[in-house]
Chain A
Amino acid sequence: MSNAATEKLNDFNADLHIHTVLSPCADLEMSPVNIIREAQRKGLDIIAITDHNASAHCKVTGEIGKEAGIFVIYGIEVTTSEETHCLTYFESLEKLAEFQEIIDNTILKIKNKPKRFGYQVIVDKNENILGDIDWLLLSAVKLSLDEVTEKAHNLGGIVIPAHIDRSMFSLTSQLGFVPPDLQADAYEVSKFSTPEEMISKYPYLRNKTFIRTSDSHYLKDIGSVSTVLRIKSRSFEEIKMAISNTCERKVIINR
């Protein structure tokens, strides 16, 4: 019997794509404390915070999550130079900060007009506003999807192109199809599609890992679709193993 088989694996309910109030397009109710409360209410064990090109709410959400028994993964939804959205996840706040610096140095810095695009505020755990981000977070970075993937991987990160089925900001809308040679760790489908549908269009994706997430911009959407992670315990390393489908760990899409 292998080591892996002797270890007891558990199923954890995960929603790996949630925006906070920092994303201009997210609802003002999406504060870290509200997100954790809603995740608890929806029975989620693991969530990921993935604001557009920003990560200022990862730490505080992680702290609140810890108290509430919810494991929070630190993430950023990057807008690549092709204007595809790409989810990136990191193990520690240090790695996250290093990656954020790359984003900040390469994003097109255009001043946000909050009235047009929405507010980009940073709040604390009591929802006090600490500040805001001046440049528009929806802008693209000057790095291609391949370059973003490489830089995130260099920091031990996980790379998952977002909502590949959607008609905007996706691989299919921006590149015409899902490139077969991407170095992505998995692919995300939205609640409007399924892995089967994507595989029928792109048969070379049949052995890839898929996740399905809510891409929540409103509290009510959190956990509206989720993905089960079959892992030993809730850690970044275990989640990475599930995504790479190693040592019996795996990702199971809820139907």
Chain B
Amino acid sequence: MKVTDILNWENTSLACGKNSIENQITNGYNSDLLSDVMGNASEGMAWITIQTHKNLVAVASLKDLACIIIANNNKPAHDLLDAAEEEGIPVITTSLPAFEFAGKLYNELNK
């Protein structure tokens, strides 16, 4: 599936990175510890987190992740959006809690 498929879901919206929404999502990873993501996430994953700061972009870019999903109505920081736009990483916000979003994504990916 692609990042753009997620954008069709209710309760989600694209915060930035519209030029990269055709990125393929191979799998998902749910974590709020950057070092955990750096150590265990892999290329093409959609990363679900409640963190909102700029360092997310560096980690997502380092690991070539498909997109960042900021769950539970958390609002991304402005400098995160600037950095993500520059790096071409889609940032999606959702009102769903991380658990629910991850469950939904898991089901879609394993259909």
Contact = CB atoms under 8 A, between A and B. Distances in A.
A83 B53 contact: no
Contacts of A255: none
Contact of B39 (A110, A113, A168): A110
B53 A167 contact: yes
B1 interface: no
Contact-residue size bin, chain B (C-beta under 8 Å from the other chain) = 10 to 19
A108 B39 contact: yes
B38 interface: yes
Contact-residue size bin, chain A (C-beta under 8 Å from the other chain) = 10 to 19
Contact of B38 (A82, A110, A167, A168): A110
Contacts of A83: 33-35
A8 interface: no
Q: Is the interface of B mostly helix, strand, loop or mixed?
A: helix
Contact of B58 (A79, A82, A117, A168): A117
Given A167-B53, A168-B53, A116 B39 contact: no
A140 B55 contact: no
B109 interface: no
A136 B35 CA distance: 10
Interface of A: 79, 81-83, 108, 110, 113, 116-117, 136, 138-140, 167-168
Interface of B: 33-35, 38-39, 51, 53, 55, 58, 61-62
